[in-house]
Structure 1
Amino acid sequence: MSDIRTENDSLGAVEVPAEALYGAQTTRAVANFPISGLKANHFLIRALAMIKFAAAEANAELGLITPEQGSAIAQAAQEVLDGKHHDHFVVDVFQAGAGVSLHMNTNEVLANRANQIFGEELGSYKKVHPNDHVNYGQSTNDVFPTAMRLSALLALEELYSVLEGLAGSFAAKADEFKDILKAGRTHMQDAVPITLGQEFAAYAVAVREASASIRRNAVTLHSLGLGGSAVGTGLNTHPQYREKAVAKLARIARLELHPAYDLRYAMQSCAPMAEVSGALRTLALEMIRISNDLRLLSSGPNTGFNEILLPSLQPGSSIMPGKVNPVLAELTAMVAFQVIGNDTATAMAVQAGQLELNVMMPAMAHATLQSITILTNTLRELEVHCIRGITANRERNAFYASSTIALATALNPYIGYRKAAELVKESVASGRSIVDLAREKKLLSEEQIAEILDPKNMTEPHARIS
């Protein structure tokens, strides 16, 4: 048997791999765009299959394609949703504008698989045609924006779960470390005491706030322009198609979805992608900050803070024996840098639309889905293999808590800021503690010293003692 077959499209004959489910237009795209070697995110493939499934059911109900055609297309789409045939989605993520190439890749895969179901040869399109049946009443211009939004919603469901787990682990550590006093630091200098638990509790809040922000910004993704056809006017669609298709898509995706109130807007504007990408950027910024804290707090062991110990995951040096690095905290920061870069790419793509269409959608879809994917995978690893295993160096924390010169801050209401500052200077110069100096100079009674300079009382609001 030949390892190729010949298909024809509007530009002429094309040689296609004999066993490929894709066809002529996909083959042309593969030849035209050997750019990155990266293929479509699996959530985008799933979203496209869901849309074709919903459209086939709607068009069959409306009598626009036969029930048999609708059933075969739906079966092919379901197979894709079951994880089959993904290796036949071969178009590079950087491709023709608006995602025409990936859209036709989808149409051809589903058409060829539907024809196989009918017992027809690949590439014959006798029973089901990529354009006339799989794509009936549709255009790349309404399908790709819909798929882009839907794929982001699908991917975000996994991220939300990971973020809840991460926040939960930070909160668990907050409870575990709630009685461990340590020195606070501002400007990277000594500050008043805080508990290690309070630091970790704040990390939990940061993650939950970032997650809530993503959810808020993802709301507009639920509004879909499916049914808008070429320019948002619904040309070549049945009057009932729009509502039917979106309702069926909501059922298939198990998400709350609804038609956009203005299909032109849904096609012209990709602002929802910018909003979600921006929220992902905020999460990335928070994770850079937190990962840097983890690296600082675990620095050492002899010449750094050494207040916490991160799990040892692998040797850290090819030349220094015994060295162990904070690899997952480092990874988190690097992934977050990529997310910030992806947000810039998305922002540039979102603003680059003209008139009835933004043709830069493949770039923003790739960037946003990559951000969601790498954040999901990285933060899962960080939570499971790093945060859960963090332990505290109680002795080091206690030493810093009693040594911080900022203990003098508690004296302000009793001796004033100026005298307290003088006490700090003397402490630094002499190496003696604030407590010893306050006692020696009889600035406070023993009862006041015991109460005011107790670091634990400095980690929460505390009434002044007369």
Structure 2
Amino acid sequence: MSTRIEHDLLGDRDVPAEVYWGVHTLRAIENFPITGQAISSYTELINALAAIKQAAALSNNALGLLDDRRTQAIVAACEELRAGKLHEQFVVDVIQGGAGTSTNMNANEVIANRALELLGHNKGEYQHLHPNEHVNMGQSTNDVYPTALRIATWSGAQQLLQAMSVLRQAFADKAEEFKDILKMGRTQLQDAVPMTLGQEFMTYAVMMGEDELRLNEASALMLEINLGATAIGTGINAHPDYAPLVCKQLSAITGIDLITAPNLIEATQDCGAFVQLSGVLKRVAVKLSKTCNDLRLLSSGPRAGFGEINLPARQAGSSIMPGKVNPVIPEVVTQVAYEVIGNDLTVTMAAEAGQLQLNAFEPVIAYSLYRSVRHLINACHTLTEHCVKGITANRDHLRALVANSIGLVTALNPYIGYAAATDVAAEAHATGGGVYDIVLARGLLTREQLDAVLKPEALTQPRLEPLVASANDKA
């Protein structure tokens, strides 16, 4: 294999001649064999890095610090990256020491070597265009990396919001489909009072909608960037007009309304926005898991469980039990939720561990947020397409459960009194008889009165006036 010689602080190294990365990336490959997952898998991060380098080149050119020829080559290389080219050249591990320096240098080297080719030079001929002096001009890892992470995370959050919206609508559609199906509600897994299956499914849609609002709020915090802060927020080695100009250029390139943090020293060391976003992702995960637990419970059986709804059969459920079908989609979504909850703890500890003017642990924050966002997107799509859209209701079974439930007696309180209702419930529990029949047999209400009280619309919503005269009124 042919090589080229590159030099850094530690000396000379042979770098494969055909690659676009250089000696700094080579050392990172050797130093951080941690996850086996390269940053090439994080498309949004690479695109964000390319946009930042492009904005920086244009800004430095406008300030008279970078000549037109080099600027045009850097911009062209960045545009290629943003179009999806050369992503395989981003080879450093997502978890790395150095506060993201290896990721920043991987980007600098790839952009520099591609720009050199566009200028008619060979890779590694950095005397013509240098990764640090030109591609990284006016920058530091400490403002480039967190800015890229914020842009990438914001982009991922927008995709997650879309996936959540589709899932919310799927639940809302089911709520409409099931709006006339009466069932028993439950508290603490015990019979409570009647409701409709549509009301039950609408709660899942409402919960998802609430979390969309919270995620939208948290993702907005990603739009405040520290680009121009350079090393610790003082802006050393950057032009005085660089920070506002590069923010304007970056906004134009990405189409995102970014703002420069009012205090760049604070913004360079503070990871609070990542903590807040991670917390909202945990909230989404918890709600999804709760919903999936409900779906598994409501569909349990098919004959020895609740058996109120049917989830779409996706695959055979057992290697030993013929005919068994398991709720595999809610199960996988719940596992994603557990992962996101764990990732939130990682983000929390990494943010807390930053010292003084920089947090060195942003790579694991980036990795954790990336996995949480990406896996939640996939989980929402999977739950929507492979589960929720295909759910059906067991109408006859639900009707029978309501008719046989002791919980019906609660609806009779205003008409026969609490004491009489308690006696009816006790007899129903002891004998297995139905509340309807016991009330009728005791002469507490007529059949017409019972039918009026136990109409679905009377059982599932508040009402101003009693439907029949109460026992107290009769007395």
Give the shorter-chain TM-score range.
Answer: over 0.9
Question: Deviations for 1:253-281, whole angstroms, at most 9, x for unmatched residues?
Answer: 11111111111111010100001000000
Q: Match of 2:100, SS?
A: helix
SS in 2 for 1:304: coil
> How far has the Cα of 1:123 moved from its partner?
1.3
Which residue does 1:405 correspond to in 2?
A: 406
Aligned to 2:18: 19
Matched, 1:36 2:35: yes
1:256 corresponding residue in structure 2: 257
Taking the aligned partners of 2:404 and 2:58, their CA distance within structure 1 comes to 72
Structure 2, unaligned stretches of length 5 or more?
A: 470-475
Partner of 2:169: 168
Give the distance between the partners of 1:456 and 1:326, measured in 2 at CA.
Answer: 32
Query: CA–CA distance in 2 between the matches of 1:252 and 1:154?
Result: 14
User: Which stretch shows the higher mean deviation, 335-344 or 451-460?
Assistant: 451-460
Percent same amino acid at aligned positions? 46
* SS, match of residue 13 in structure 1: strand
Q: For the residues of structure 2 that align with 1:361 and 1:87, how far apart are their CA atoms?
A: 22
Secondary structure of the 1:379 match is helix
Looking at structure 2, the residues matched to 428 and 456 of structure 1 have their Cα atoms a distance apart, in angstroms, of: 26
**Contact 2:154 2:220 (C-alpha < 8 Å) held by counterparts:** no
1:205 is matched with 206
1:198-241 C-alpha deviation (Å, 9 max, x unpaired): 11111001111111101111222111100001110111111221
Partner of 2:147: 146
- Over aligned residue pairs, what C-alpha RMSD do you find? 1.2
The equivalent of 2:340 in structure 1 is 339
Asked if 1:230 corresponds to 2:192, the answer is no
- Map 1:407-426; keep pairs closer than 5 Å: 407-426=408-427
- How far apart in 2 are the matches of 1:252 and 1:155? 17
Amino acid of the residue matched to residue 126 of structure 1? Q
Alignment of 1:58-457 (within 5 A): 58-457=59-458
Q: In 1, Cα distance between the equivalents of 2:363 and 2:146? A: 9
Tell whether 2:67 aligns with 1:53.
no
Give the ranges of 4+ consecutive aligned residues of structure 1 lying more than 3 Å apart after TM superposition. none
Q: Deviations over 1:61-114 (max 9, x none)?
A: 111111111111111111111111111111111111310111111111111111
Report how far residue 386 of structure 1 moved: 1.3
Q: Is contact 1:401-1:455 (8 Å) kept?
A: no
Residue 182 (structure 1) shift: 0.9
Once residues 4 and 299 of structure 1 are traced to their aligned partners in structure 2, the CA distance between those partners, rounded to angstroms, is 62
C-alpha contact 2:350 2:362 (8 A) present in aligned 1:
yes
Amino acid across the alignment from 1:14: R
- Mean Cα displacement is larger for which, 282-291 or 236-245? 236-245
1:321 and 1:150 map into 2 onto residues whose CA distance is: 50
Q: Give aligned pairs, total.
A: 465
Are the equivalent residues in 1 in contact too, given 2:104–2:145 (CA < 8 A)? yes
Compare 208-217 and 129-138 and name the one that shifted more: 208-217
1:347, distance to aligned residue in structure 2 (A)? 0.6
Deviation at 1:416, TM superposition (A): 2.6
Deviations 1:343-382 (A, max 9, x none): 0000111111111111110011110111000000111111
Q: 1:155-208, CA deviations, whole angstroms, 9 ceiling, x for partnerless residues? A: 111111111100011001100110011111111011111111111111001111
In the aligned structure 2, how far is the partner of 1:200 from the partner of 1:15?
62
Aligned to 2:473: none
Q: Return the offset for 1:418.
A: 2.8
Question: Which residue identity lines up with residue 9 of structure 2 in the other structure?
Answer: S
**CA distance in structure 2 between the aligned counterparts of 1:12 and 1:218, rounded to whole angstroms:** 43
SS of match in other structure, 1:16: strand
d(CA) in 2 for partners of 1:194, 1:451: 16
| TM-score under structure 2 length normalisation | 0.96
Query: What does the per-residue CA deviation read over 1:411-460, in whole Å, with 9 as the maximum and x for residues that have no partner?
Result: 22223323212211110111111011111111123332111123442111
Asked whether the 8 Å contact 1:295–1:326 carries over to 2, the reply is yes
Query: What is the distance in 2 between the residues matched to 1:418 and 1:71?
Result: 86
Contact 1:181 1:456 in 2 (8 A): no
Secondary structure at the counterpart of residue 96 of structure 1: coil
Matched AA of 1:370: R
Greater mean alpha carbon deviation, residues 455-464 or residues 133-142 = 455-464
**Greater alpha carbon shift after TM alignment, 199-208 vs 213-222:** 213-222
| Contact residue 95 and residue 101 of structure 1 kept, 8 A | yes
The C-alpha deviation readout for 1:279-327, integer Å capped at 9, x for no partner, is: 0000000000000111111111111111111111111111111211111
Report the secondary structure of 1:103's partner residue.
helix
- Contact 1:61–1:67, Cα closer than 8 Å, also in 2: no
Q: Choose 289-298 or 35-44, whichever is displaced more.
A: 35-44
SS at match of 1:98: coil
